[in-house]
A and B are shown apart, each in its own frame.
Chain A
Amino acid sequence: MNAAILREISSIFTCDFPLFEAEVAALLNIRKYDEYTYLHSLNVARLSVGLGRRLSFTDDMLVDLGWAALLHDIGKLHIPLDILNKMKKFSADELAVMQSHPVEALAALAETQPITLDRLRRLSAAFEHHQRYDLKGYPVVQKKLTLHPFSRIVAVADTFDAMTTDRIYQRRILPDMALKIMAQGFGTIFDPFVLQAFITSMGVYPVGSLVRLDDERLGVVTRYLSESQIDRPEIVLIDKTSSSERFIDLSLPEHRSRKILRSEFPEDFDVNVQEILNEVRR
């Protein structure tokens, strides 16, 4: 088994790898086929398992959810690379091919031997992550079934990561904006419970966001206190010259009048968010 892949998986959840040889092999195939899909799959797993932990899932449930997320795009192994990585708008035919990837997951499944009930269950998300909560997405199936709970989690994580990841042809969306847009799919595209859990446990401005306050100062979101409102985190100010204060906890009554105006791209202001967070934690 590939050591690098095992390390990546271990950073997300713990499992007994010899029991998941076929799954690891499938993930390795994804990595060989398309690096972006592989990295995206890891992120979707990080988000899905992260949410699963917040929802107090058992370890076994987290393992199944983790694999469901890691393999949700396994059907893309059967999408030609020129379509998968196309930088321009898809033609109708290309779109149909692209949208066949959930169904093509079955072809990938056939290659993942032996097929067991557990494996089949873990692949539910691969078939269902684009079906939408109201079942008006794709693939269109004759018999409408409620989506597996893991598919509903993976659908949210998948969209969030796709929106917030830089593509070769387009810049990412900032996390808070992605969450706001996704809220438009509340109860139609996304399971309302899952989306609510996702947004509230991440916070409207996730930790690490670069935000501009209404006084135009920039700060980085450092944490949420247990009783914080989901849009009022603690912020460490970047511009220390204009004021003596360094941290502003927007959940405190004395800061009630202050608000976050918008988030910004850190690279536009030469801000190294990770460095600031590390410094704060020290």
Chain B
Amino acid sequence: MVVSVKKELPFLQESFRSSEVRVQLGHNLWIDSAGDKKDIQVDDFPIFVFLRAVGFESVILKPESHQYWDVWTQRMAEYEQIFIQDPENLVIDECVWNELDSASGEFVIQCLLPATHTPSTRQSLKAQVGLPPPFAAPLKIDPVALQKFVEEVQRQSAQETLLRIQSILREFKQDSRRTTPETWSNLLCDVLTIALESRELEKALQVARDHQEDLKRIWNDHARFLRLCGAYDAKPQELSDWASIFESLENRMLVIYLQQNLHERAGPQILKLMHARIQRDPDRMIEFCLANQAEIQKQLLPWMTPYWKLKHFTLVQSEFERAIQRGDGEGDLKLWITSLLKCAPHQALQDLERYFQKKRAFWKRDFPHVQKAILAALQEAPGSESIAYLKRWKLNVQGVLADRIERILSLYSSEQKGGNRK
């Protein structure tokens, strides 16, 4: 704290010595007890400038004031600091401007208002705000400093803006009286979105890591999720980091977004998110897929193909049979067959053979769409083993199915020949 009036000043020396001194703030004068007037430059003494500014006309210093001088100036300097930093927080009428001598109870430093002063009597609550003064004087500043300042304004980056908001987020969560969990989560989501829109993935990851739990609330807000998800097109090497922002988004919700929002701007990113999630933890996703309803399974099955293993075979087989019982269409059945073939190709072909056996021909009318689905799945990835099966199955079917098997066989044969020639 700067105490801005020095004790060695002549009017202070005079007052401390023997007599009362009156400093006339508005007239740049000090008057001794004999009535002699001397010039001072009030502007040189910040505390006196402050006292004059808040309305005091003069300050009387008694001889005893020297004992209280430091305490008084310290207090005035504190008032001044509060006033400069936040003028609205200093209620001038409630400040202690004078200093009392504790022994005599008399004022030793007394600040006097003009005789014409009337205490604040304004009753009207209507604000009296006039226009501020114009900037009409010559701007006297260093052109280099000006150039630097303008450049600083122009240089403000997204990263700096995000750092500012990040630094205040914590204070907001701790201090805000109006923060509801929703407001807080919405804010976090919006900040994340802006970070991603500004290509600041690292900043977004920091915010997400710090507040993953709080983000849970926003996943039900479709508009916010879609903006967040569509805000950044992650490169392949960033995919896993980017997807971690959505860590607390449940698989069920992701599938719903996948079903409903692929046509949105965020559509490609929703696909990427699904891809990243399956890549990161395929077993968990398979478990989720097999435990879910048909609608969700249909969405997930195309994604799961590369991850099926032998251990999933029995479960996939049950789901496939359930799909047949439900009367699912050829396309949906094909997804299950592809999955079976991926889990255990040999076992799957053996199992699927029953749909082409003659002895079960009495069921024939129920199977054409299953048979078509099997052929469609095999057509996509024919191999020597499946070709052998197809040749056998061809003997048991007629018409369209036989033609289709024939096409697969000849296609495979020509591909093989082509491959051999190469």
Smallest CB gap from A140: residue in B: B171
Pick from B116, B134, B170: contact of A142, CB under 8 Å: B170
By the criterion CB–CB under 8 Å, are A139 and B138 in contact?
A: no
By the criterion CB–CB under 8 Å, are A127 and B153 in contact?
A: no
By the criterion CB–CB under 8 Å, are B53 and A181 in contact?
A: yes
Interfacial chain B residues near A50, Cβ < 8 Å: 132, 134-135
Q: Mark A194-236, 1 if CB is under 8 A from B, else 0.
A: 1011001111001111000000000000011111101001000
Q: Mark A30-44, 1 if CB is under 8 A from B, else 0.
A: 000001100110010
With the chains together, A183 CA to B25 CA distance in Å?
18
Q: Is B68 an interface residue (CB 8 A)?
A: no
Q: Say yes or no: A104-B197 contact (C-beta < 8 A), given A200-B138, A230-B140.
A: no
Q: Mark A113-151, 1 if CB is under 8 A from B, else 0.
A: 011110011001001101010000101111101001110
By the criterion CB–CB under 8 Å, are A100 and B141 in contact?
A: no
Q: Mark A143-183, 1 if CB is under 8 A from B, else 0.
A: 10100111000000001111111111111011101101110
By the criterion CB–CB under 8 Å, are B116 and A268 in contact?
A: yes
Interfacial chain A residues near B262, Cβ < 8 Å: none
Interfacial chain B residues near A208, Cβ < 8 Å: 133-134
Smallest CB gap from A200: residue in B: B140
What's the least CB distance linking A98 to chain B, in Å? 7
Q: Say yes or no: A85-B129 contact (C-beta < 8 A), given A78-B178, A127-B164.
A: no
Q: Is A5 an interface residue (CB 8 A)?
A: no
Q: Say yes or no: A230-B138 contact (C-beta < 8 A), given A107-B183, A110-B186, A168-B125.
A: yes
What's the least CB distance linking B3 to chain A, in Å? 12
Binding stretch for chain A, among B44-52, B293-301, B372-380: B44-52
With the chains together, A142 CA to B164 CA distance in Å?
11
Q: Is B83 an interface residue (CB 8 A)?
A: yes
With the chains together, A123 CA to B27 CA distance in Å?
44
By the criterion CB–CB under 8 Å, are A197 and B53 in contact?
A: no
Pick from A132, A161, A168: contact of B122, CB under 8 Å: A168
Q: Is A88 an interface residue (CB 8 A)?
A: yes
With the chains together, A85 CA to B124 CA distance in Å?
12
Interfacial chain A residues near B137, Cβ < 8 Å: 200-203, 206-207, 224, 228, 230, 233
Q: Say yes or no: A54-B178 contact (C-beta < 8 A), given A114-B227, A137-B85, A189-B84.
A: no
Pick from B2, B46, B87, B175: contact of A159, CB under 8 Å: B87
Interfacial chain B residues near A261, Cβ < 8 Å: 26-28
By the criterion CB–CB under 8 Å, are B160 and A200 in contact?
A: no
Q: Is B237 an interface residue (CB 8 A)?
A: no
Q: Is B64 an interface residue (CB 8 A)?
A: no
Pick from B86, B131, B163, B178: contact of A104, CB under 8 Å: B178
By the criterion CB–CB under 8 Å, are B161 and A117 in contact?
A: yes
Q: Say yes or no: A106-B93 contact (C-beta < 8 A), given A46-B131, A145-B160, A175-B133.
A: no
Q: Is B166 an interface residue (CB 8 A)?
A: yes
Q: Is A258 an interface residue (CB 8 A)?
A: no
Q: Is A95 an interface residue (CB 8 A)?
A: yes
Q: Is B55 an interface residue (CB 8 A)?
A: yes
What's the least CB distance linking B209 to chain A, in Å? 16
Smallest CB gap from B139: residue in A: A201
Interfacial chain A residues near B197, Cβ < 8 Å: 116-117
Interfacial chain B residues near A97, Cβ < 8 Å: 177
What's the least CB distance linking B150 to chain A, in Å? 7
Q: Is B9 an interface residue (CB 8 A)?
A: no
Q: Is A109 an interface residue (CB 8 A)?
A: yes
What's the least CB distance linking A79 to chain B, in Å? 9
With the chains together, A245 CA to B298 CA distance in Å?
96
Q: Is B115 an interface residue (CB 8 A)?
A: no
Q: Tell me the B76-95 residues at the A interface (CB within 8 Å).
A: 80, 83-89, 91-94
Interfacial chain B residues near A159, Cβ < 8 Å: 84-87
Q: Is A252 an interface residue (CB 8 A)?
A: no
Smallest CB gap from B185: residue in A: A110
By the criterion CB–CB under 8 Å, are B141 and A196 in contact?
A: yes
By the criterion CB–CB under 8 Å, are A141 and B168 in contact?
A: yes
Interfacial chain B residues near A163, Cβ < 8 Å: 53, 83, 87
Interfacial chain B residues near A145, Cβ < 8 Å: 160, 163-164, 167
Smallest CB gap from B116: residue in A: A268
Interfacial chain B residues near A109, Cβ < 8 Å: 187
Q: Tell me the B119-169 residues at the A interface (CB within 8 Å).
A: 120, 122, 124-141, 145-146, 149-150, 152-154, 156, 158, 160-169
Pick from A110, A115, A116, A139: contact of B171, CB under 8 Å: A139
Q: Say yes or no: A89-B94 contact (C-beta < 8 A), given A43-B131, A142-B167.
A: yes
- By Cβ-Cβ distance, the 6 closest A-B pairs, closest first, are A203-B137, A206-B133, A177-B53, A36-B127, A39-B129, A162-B87
Chain B interfacial positions (CB closer than 8 Å to A): 2, 4, 26-28, 43, 46, 49-50, 52-55, 80, 83-89, 91-94, 116, 120, 122, 124-141, 145-146, 149-150, 152-154, 156, 158, 160-172, 175-179, 183, 186-187, 190-191, 193-194, 197-198, 227
Can you identify 16 A-B contacts, CB atoms within 8 angstroms? A35-B126, A50-B134, A54-B135, A56-B146, A61-B153, A103-B171, A106-B187, A110-B187, A114-B190, A145-B164, A181-B49, A184-B80, A193-B149, A196-B141, A201-B138, A262-B27
